[in-house]
Structure 1
C-alpha cells in the first residue's frame, strides 16, 4: 500500500491566502484524471491513497504533498502541469505563521538569535522538535504534531543556502540540559549542535547560568537582517513581544543582543561546554 490517506497532505486552514492555489490544483487534478479516463476509485487504487482523500484534494480541501503531484503527473500523463505546482504545495503544507517566518529566514543575510527556554528551532533535531510539540498543552493531535515538526525541519534549509547567511546563536545553559524527549534525544541534539557550531557561517555561544549580570533576562531575542538594509526583530521582553522594524526599536534589540554575546562563553568555550555536557549523559 502507498503512503496512506493520513499522510497524503493536510487540510487547508480557513482563510489562508494559499487556499485559491490549493483549489486550483484540485481542479487541475480532476481535469487530468478525467482526461486520462480514470475514475476516483481507479486513481485511488493506482496511487495507494483512499478515495475520500482524492476527493478532498480535488475539492481543494486538502493540500497534496509534492510527491503526490509528481506521481499523479506521471500516472495521468499530465505533461508537467501538476508538477508545476510542487513548490507551491511544499510551502502550502506548513501553517501560515511558519510559512511567513520561513520566507523571512530565506531572505535574511544575517540572524541574531537568543533562546532561553529551549533549543532554537533552526538548531533542533527532528526528534527534539517532535518532543517539543508532543508536550504542548492542551495536547495537539498527532497529525498536527507531525505537520509542525515537518515545517520546522523544512526551515533548516537556511543552512544550505548560497551565499550562506551569517547566523549567531546564544543558548541558555539550561536549554542544553533539559532532556526533552529523553536523554538519548538530548544526546543526539547536543551532538548536532557541535556539528552546526563548526560551520563557517555559524557562531554558537552558551550563556552560563552562574552569570551575575544578564542582558537577556527579559526573554528571547530574534533579529533578521535583509540584503536591502531593512530588518525585523522581536523579543519577549520588549514592545509587547510584537515584531518591530523601525531603526530605533531595532537598535535596542541589537544592543541587548550584543551585550548578551559579550556576557556568554566564547564560541570555543561553548563547544567545550557542550562536549562536557555530552560526557555527563
Structure 2
C-alpha cells in the first residue's frame, strides 16, 4: 500500500513533521484550503468515507480530515494517490505545482520571486557561501548544522527551496550577477573533503559564466563595509531597485533612493576591496588544489 511504513501502519502527523501550514502565510493558507476543499468534494462525490479513503491512500483518518480542512500540506504522493483512488483523471495531481510552492517558507518564496524577476543581482555574503551558489550537499549540511536542529523533512524542504532559487542561472535573457564571498567560508571543509571540493568546483563553474562576476574578499583585508553581514541589491527592468543589508535599516528590504545609495556605496566599496575576478578564480583553483 502506498504511504505505508512497511508494516501496514497508516501515516500520521508524526511521520510528516514540518508539513503544517504557516498561519502567517495568507497565500499559503488559501492554497492549502482550496486544495483540501477539492479533495473533500471529490471524496464525497464518490461516496467514500474518510476512514476508507485513508486506508486506500495509506494515511490515518485524522490526517485525511486535517488535509481536507486546510490544516496540513498534502505531499505530492498523497495527491497522486488520491487522484488514482478517486478517479479524478489528473485534476488532483495537477494541484501539485501550487502545493510545491507553498512548501517553501514564505520569506524564501518572496526572495525567490524577486530574484526571478531581477535584471541584476549584487550579493555580498559574510559568514557563508551565497545560497544561489551552494550545491545541494553543501546546503544540506549547512541546514543540518543549525541549532536547535531541524527535522529531516524540514531540512529537505529548505534545500529544495534553496535549489529552486538557482533557476536564475537558466533564465533567458540572463541576468547580470555579481557575488563577493569571504575567504574564510571558502576554506571551511563543510561536509567533509568531497562536499567541500564539489562546492569549490561549483564556484569555478559559475565564475566562468559570461553574466557572472565572482570575487573573493581576502581575510587580510582588515576592515571593509560588509563586516555587519550580508548585503543584497536586486535591480529590475523598470529601473527600480530593492536592497537589504544585515547591518542597515533593521535588516528590512528598502527601496527608498536615499537608503539604496547607502547600500550601493557599501557594496561598491566591498567590490573595490575584494580580489579582482581573475585573481579570485585563481585563488579558488589554488584552494581546490590544496584539498
SS for the counterpart of 2:119 is strand
Q: Distance in 1 between matches of 2:3 and 2:270?
A: 46
> Where do residues 5-154 of structure 1 align in structure 2 (5 Å cutoff)?
5=11, 6=15, 10-17=19-26, 18-49=28-59, 51-66=61-76, 68-154=78-164
Q: Cα gap change, 1:231/1:23 in structure 2, threshold over 3 Å: closer, same or farther?
A: same
Note the C-alpha offset of 1:240.
2.6
Note the C-alpha offset of 1:270.
1.6
CA contact (8 A) 2:126 2:230 kept: yes
Q: Distance in 1 between matches of 2:92 and 2:18?
A: 15
Partner in structure 1 of residue 174 of structure 2? 164
CA contact (8 A) 1:9 1:62 kept: no
Q: Cα gap change, 1:121/1:185 in structure 2, threshold over 3 Å: closer, same or farther?
A: same
Note the C-alpha offset of 1:77.
2.9
Q: Cα gap change, 1:26/1:239 in structure 2, threshold over 3 Å: closer, same or farther?
A: same
Note the C-alpha offset of 1:70.
4.3
CA contact (8 A) 2:17 2:153 kept: no
CA contact (8 A) 1:8 1:49 kept: no
Q: Cα gap change, 1:201/1:71 in structure 2, threshold over 3 Å: closer, same or farther?
A: farther
> Where do residues 224-263 of structure 1 align in structure 2 (5 Å cutoff)?
224-263=234-273
SS for the counterpart of 2:189 is coil
Note the C-alpha offset of 1:150.
2.0
Range that drifts further, 51-60 or 229-238: 51-60
Taking structure 1 as the reference length, what is the TM-score of the superposition? Answer: 0.89
Range that drifts further, 144-153 or 223-232: 144-153
**Count of residue correspondences:** 281
Q: CA RMSD in A?
A: 2.4
Structure 1 runs of 4+ off > 6 angstroms? none
Where does the alignment leave 5 or more consecutive residues of structure 2 unmatched?
5-10
Note the C-alpha offset of 1:123.
1.0
Taking structure 2 as the reference length, what is the TM-score of the superposition? Answer: 0.86
Note the C-alpha offset of 1:199.
2.0
Partner in structure 1 of residue 8 of structure 2? none
